[in-house]
Structure formats: structure tokens, C-alpha cells
Amino acid sequence: MAKKATATKAKAKTKPKSKAKRSLVIVESPAKAKTIVKYLGRKYKMMASIGHLKDLPKSRFGVDIEKDFEPEYIVIKGKSKVLTAIKKAAKEADQVLLAPDPDREGEAIAWHIAEELKSINDKVYRVLFNEITKKAVKEAVLSPSEINMDRVNAQQARRVLDRIVGYKISPLLWQKVRRGLSAGRVQSVALLIICQREKEVLAFVSEEYWSIDATLSGKVPPPFVARLIQDAGQALKIHNEEEARALEIRLNAADFTVAKVEKKERKRNPTPPFITSRMQQEAARKLHFTPKKTMMLAQQLYEGITIASEGAVGLISYMRTDSVRISPEFQTESLQWISGKYGSEYVPERANVYKSKKSAQEGHEAIRPTGIAREPDLLRADLSHDQFLLYQLIWNRYVASQMRPALFDVTRVDIKAENLGLRVTGSVLKFPGFTIVYTEGKESNPNAGESLDGEGALPVLSVGDVLNLQSLDPKQHFTQPPARYNEALLIHDLEDKGIGRPSTYATIISTLQDREYVEKREGRFYPTDLGDTVNELLVENFPGVVNVEFTALMEQDLDEVEAGEKNWTETIRKFYDPFAKNFEKAEKEMRDVKREEQPTDIICEKCGNPLVIKWGRFGRFLACSGYPDCKNTKEFVEKEGVIEIVAKEIASDVICKVCGKGMINKTGRFGRFLACSAYPECKHTEPVSLGVACPEAECKGDLTEKRSKKGKTFYACTNYPDCKFALWDRPVARPCPQCKFPILVEKYDRNKGTKVLCQDKACGFVEAPSQEPSD
């Protein structure tokens, strides 16, 4: 049986005294330590573990299946000195307070440290706080507790599950497709969802439909527009122009009268304060931040920012949460502040209470500012531009969530034109409520059509009023396929289907892009050929693993482990047994894509044999079926099933220095180069210059684009090996205006777009970024 993890308890029968001589407080982040130390004073020593200290080994499986999935934990490479320092400090401390983040990963970090210290100090405790403020930190250190082993076991179960999937399937993909690929328990299901959506888009057949709007006027201005919606009391769908023209004739001949007027007050409620997934979605929609960037900025705001008037302080509560709960004390303080700032009419009669989903950890709070009076504009000078934008979003969302609803006066008018029915709706804002601070962004629905809900007042209309027809506007429309995923939509669907945890979404999306399984075009995710192939192989061979329903059930099981309702090793066994059978079968039967050849009707111009599609290190390519006698290959792109060959050889205006004939641009395994057009008689080649002189002193070479053995593009001097100057970022032929270094470089950042900066990092010069197109 696996060695059962147990919490490290103090041997002392009484809790530590609040006036301890010296306490060691351990957090996982130096930034967090810097903020906390000023609250605790000299009686406390702060240290940071800098993340996990122990993990499963990288070089071997590290899970003993036969011993009930017993994990083998080792000290992470490079962390031995950190652990040694912590042990030394613990030996000298009166007590040790473990204060990593209040989630599964934080609990596991605390447990691993406690296990290392149990023979050194018998007063090891866990402290928890959801915000890094003086009040929260001081209360936490005065109320220490034990490590939550249910939470630790939930983390262990997830880690072991992910190791089983990654360590077993990834090498199989290396063997069958190409090296460097990976599979993941949640990552592969996210890829499945993207590939399924792409199939839906490609299979979609657009349908024509029409709408007819009538511009009408009554006894008093202004004119208004009503939409045709009924024929003989039945909902109307106009399929084509012929039907639209026939209805247009009937409308032109009809008398228009008001059949019904309905007036009511409509209430629009504020949205709850942020949970992790909603923050990521809204930051993607409104700020065009990737989930990875959003979580990085939120971590900074949580761990502490130096404010001119206060010093280092955590500005938001803990950012990994699925609870919308707000502490009663903070809510009371917020309502008093709102009353003073906006007026008592904006404060609800009873405080707004929002309901979290069933699996939410109600011990946490929603993401909120730690001080309601810290208005974003007051902190603008202390925050970076992006930190400010995210803090403003969080602050606005929270304040709005505590305010009264917005009220609208809505008028709906039904109009009769013989047997045809039209409708118009107008609305007028009566009381702005929470909307003076914030309104939630929305994803557009490509098939929603134009809304019948108009904004603005309608003229005074009464039942029986005769209306004048001023004009008709028939419009042709076509149904649109479902939208491809962007970050906000993907996170919404992952959460809605119960796939993964919001805290992991940023990593999942980044990994799919880094592995080249998906690519982003105009803000939307498209599966690549590689992504489609990997998804197809995984679905064929691991239907029980790459499965939305099964993965969602596993997440529920992990939640139940954390709640102490399930045994963690039994949860892994439930997954492993069917997985092991699938894996054994896949080893024998999974398609070997590396060796597959897909026939085409394209003929090799060198030997007359047909070309076939094969897989290589850099994706699909065309190769002669007569290999190895004929080694002709070509690059290609496939558009709607049609193969288009990409020319490997492009003429240039460079003359060969050896024979005087023209040089041509060619692409080889290490990138582009110039070759003599007289090959094989003349085998002279030259690198392709970028038109940027090598910045090394006394070097007369130019910089050229090359490709490493692993396929990564870099830039090096044409005088190599005499000159070994090289860099990863594309050079720009301009000197730095700040330090006068001969060149600048272009660096692409997925979050910030392309920016130009100095090659000398000590200089620090950065030009304003050129943003990629936003969605």
C-alpha cells in the first residue's frame, strides 16, 4: 500500500504563544515575503521557498503502480540550497509558520516543507489568509492550524494522474508522430474541443433568410422602425427574395394600426464579483489580455505593490477562487463607502448575495480589492499600465456588484398590417444603478440578427392608432457557422463542461500554442495539421481519456477527495485500469504517422512517380514515392482539400561570385540560403543577408536568418565561423538612440505584440509596441 501522507503536528500540547521569541514564516514567493515582512516586525523571519521544493522526478516515471500509486518525491534541481537554508532557519526558530497560497498547490508546498522539518522543529503550523493586508496577516499568524491533508491528497491525485497521462502517452506520440510532442489529461480534451468546433465550422452549410423592417410614423414624431415577425398569427421565417418581395407587396397594400401597447419596468441586475474564470474571460474581452498575462498581473496585485502612501501592500484578494462570497465585514464597509461616494440611492436595501456553484470552495472569497477606498485612479502612478487596467477591471466589477440594479422603462408595441404582424420595442434608462461603474462584456452571436430591443424612447402610441408607412427595408442574410474559439469562449466552455480548474486554464492554452497544436489568427484558435493529427490519434486510441464527460467526472472526484469524501488512490485506480488497457492496445495498434504515405495525383517532375504526403520534423511535406532512388521533396499548403505547392526556389538579383550566373533563393534544413542556378555544375552557396551589418567591431559581415537543429529560427553573421555573433530576435538596421549600440532587435510577445528594443539588456531601451490585431 502507498505510504499514507499524514499532517505534521506539533508535539506540544498547547498552541504557540502569540509572543514568541522568534518565528519563521515561509511563503512561496519573494514578492509575497517582501509585503508580509513589514506587517510582522522583528520577531518574525521571512523566507521564500520560490515555489515547490519537491516534485516527481523528471528523468523517470516516479509513481509505483504496484504500491497503490505511491509517488516518489525528490528535491527539485536547484532547490537544495533553498531547502538547506530553510532547515537551518527552522532549527533556530521558536516556531515555523507555513504560509503558501490557500489552495491545493499551496497546501502541497506546505506539506513537503513540513515533512522536511518534522525532525528539526516540532512546532510547525499552517497559516492561511485570502488577502495580504496587515489585518489578515496578523489574524492568520495568531490562529495557526494544521495542514489540510485532504487538500494535499487532492493535489497528489491530480499530479499522479497528470504524470500517468503525460509520461505514458507523450513518448508514444514521439514514436508515432514526432519528438517534442505532449499529451495531457486536460490539455488533450481542450484540444479535442477546439478540433470539434473546427469540424463544425467547416461542415456548416449556410442558409439564406430575409428580414423586413418598416419605417412608420404616428400622430407625433419621431418615426420609428418595426420588424415584420408574424403572418396569420404564426412566427414568420422568410427564406428567399421571392418570399420577401411577395410580403413587401402585401405590406405596401396594407393599413397599419397599433394592436397592442405593453409598458413595464425592467430590472437589470449587476453581475457577481469575479471568480478566476470570469476574470480571465472579461480581461480577454475588454483588455485583450491572454489568460497567462491576466494571471501574472493578478499574482502581482495579490502579492503586493509598493504604493507611495502605504509601502508594499496586496491590492486584491487571492486570485485563484471559484467562490463569489464576500466577507460580511468587507461588504458592510463597501456599502458605506458607496453611499458616501455615489449616494444612498445606489445602496440596495439588503446587501447583494450571490450564489456560488455547488463545487465552490466557500472558505475563499471572490476576487475583490483589499481596500474599497483604493480607487484605481488614485493608484495609477504606482502601477504599470497593464496592472492598472486589470486592477480597474477588478475594482469596478466588485463595486458594481454591491450596488442597486439598473431600471429601464420598456415599451413594446405590436402592429397589425392586415394578417401580418410587426413589433418594435423601445427602452429608456430610468435609474442607472450599477451601470455608472461597470457593465459586463458580451460575446457576439453571429446568428442573433439585429435585436428587436431598441434603445431610446418611442413616440406616444395607443391601441387603434393608424400609422403611416414611410418605407420598407428588405434585407438578405445568411446564417453563420459557430464562432471559432478565442480565449474567453474557450475558458467559458471549459468551465461550463467542468474541464480542468480555472487556475490551470492559462497554462493549458499556452501549452496548446507552444506545442503548435493550435495557432491564433485574428484572435481565434485554429487547429494545425499537427493538432488535428494528434487529436485524431488520441481520440481513436484513448476514447476514455480524451473524453469530455469522463474528464469532468474526474474533476468532481478530485473535488470530493479535497472534501474528504473519497480516497485519492481509489480515484486514481478508477482512471488507471481502463487507461492501462487502452495504452497496451495503442502501443501495438496506433497509426505510425511517421511512416504513413498519403497518395496524391501530383507527379514528380524528376522521375515521373507520384508524390505522396509524409510527416517530418517540421510537419507535412510532399515526397517522391520513388524514395530512396529519388529524393525530391516539396513544401505545400492545403486549402479546402486542394494541394498548392510552395516554391522552394525563387529567383534573386544576386550574381554567383564563382561562375557569374544568377543565384536562387532555396530553403534547406537550416533555413533559407542562396544557391547557384547552375547547380550541380556550380555548387556555390551564400547565406541570405537581411541587410543588417554585423555589429561586431572590425567584422565586415552581414546578419542572416538561420534555423537550429531543433527548427528554431535565429540570426547569425555571414562570416561564421570567423565571427560567432548570433541572436534569437530579428535584428533591425538602426542604432539604439539611447546607448548607440549598432542594432536594435524585434521581439514578439504574445501578450503585448511586437516591440523594438536594444540588444544590450543593460541599456533597457524599448520602443512603443505594435499591437497585433485585436479580436
List, by residue number, the catalytic residues: 318
The candidate with the shortest Cα–Cα distance to 564, out of 203, 267, 150, 284, is 150
Element (H, E) at 489: helix 487-496
Length of the chain (residues): 775
Amino acid at residue number 333: E
The candidate with the shortest Cα–Cα distance to 516, out of 770, 314, 710, is: 710
- What single letter denotes the amino acid at residue 215? T
Q: Which has the closest alpha carbon to 103: 150, 54, 70?
A: 150
Q: Give the other-Cβ count within 10 Å of 23's Cβ.
A: 21
Residue showing cell 484540444: 191
The CA–CA distances, whole Å, from 189 to 278, 332, 490, 542 equal 20, 43, 12, 11
For 119, residues 6+ apart whose C-beta sits below 8 A from its C-beta are none
How far apart, in Å, are the Cα atoms of 756 and each of 460, 545, 714, 748, 749?
59, 44, 16, 9, 11
Question: Any idea of the CA torsion for 63, 64, 67, 69, to the nearest 10 degrees?
Answer: 30
Residue 97 and residue 114: Cα distance in Å, rounded?
10
Q: Are 347 and 306 in contact (CB under 8 A)?
A: no
User: 3-state class of 216 per DSSP?
Assistant: strand
CA distances for 131 relative to 169, 313, 323, 453, 716, angstroms: 40, 10, 14, 42, 49
What's at 410, amino acid-wise? V
Burial 346-376 (b: 16+ CB within 10 A, else e): bbeeeebebebeeebbeebbbbbbbbbebbb
Angle between helices 187-203 and 548-562 (to 10 degrees): 150
- End-to-end CA gap in the chain: 52
Distance separating alpha carbons of residues 401 and 325, to the nearest angstrom: 11
Classify the phi-psi angles of 418: left when phi > 0, otherwise alpha if psi is within -120 to 50, otherwise beta.
left
For residues 149 and 71, give the distance between their C-alpha atoms in angstroms, rounded to a whole number.
15
Cβ(113)–Cβ(84) under 8 Å?
A: no
Element (H, E) at 221: none
Phi-psi region at 640: left, alpha or beta (left = phi > 0; alpha = psi -120 to 50):
left
Phi, psi of 769 (to 5 degrees): -70, 150
DSSP string, 324-351: ----HHHHHHHHHHHHHHH-GGGS-SS-
> Which residue spans within 58-160 are E strands per DSSP?
63-64, 70-71, 74-75, 95-98, 124-126
Closest residue by Cα to residue 263 from 36, 559, 462, 402: 462
